[in-house]
Amino acid sequence: MIMKLNSIKFPLVLILTALFILSSVPVLAVEVDKNLQKEIEDSLVCQDGCGMILAACENQTAEYMRKIVVDRLAKGQTKDEIMGYFVDIYGVKVLAAPPAEGFNITAWVTPFVALILGGVLVYLVLDKWVFQARLERMDQEDEQNKKEIDLSEYEDKLDTELKKYL
């Protein structure tokens, strides 16, 4: 077994390890709901500016935040309570999606409103085009009928003329 961790890496490793051991203590003491933990970590963003969701991030800030999640879950807090705790500290930017309240409702509603409006527009255009096609067909049929009428008039005339000369 080679264990030659040099001096550059050692402080980093020590910090990481301390955080991991700290984060694992409550897990050993009280088993937390892993699915709920993942759900919460998926809904929060690491706050060191990396922009990653908590579940995906491995930096020290993320580990610290994860430890808080596990601690609070171990104390029996709900998802809303834990999320509320983080919002109190960092503001709404800690949430991975804008809360559906106040002006932020527009974030959730706008894409669907736009799609519905687009759908209405497509329907109206389609309706116009289909209607236009029907009109065109009716015009063509009228034209056809007219031709038939005209032709019958000529046929009558032709019959009359023929009778005259035959």
Binding site for another protein (CB under 8 A): 1-6, 8-9, 12-14, 16-17, 19-21, 24, 34, 38, 42-43, 45, 49-53, 55-58, 91-99, 102-104, 106-108, 110-112, 114-115, 118-119, 122, 125-130, 132-133, 136
- Supply the minimum distance, in Å, between the C-beta of residue 143 and another protein: 13
From the number of C-beta atoms within 10 Å of its C-beta (0-12, 13-18, 19+), residue 66 rates as buried
Which tokens in the block code for residue 149?
């009428």
User: Least distance in Å: CB of 150 to another protein?
Assistant: 22
Crossing angle of helices 34-43/60-74, nearest 10°?
A: 130
Give me the helices (H) in 52-104, please. 60-74, 79-90
Residue 84 or 91 having the CB closest to another protein = 91
Nearer to another protein, 127 or 148 (CB): 127
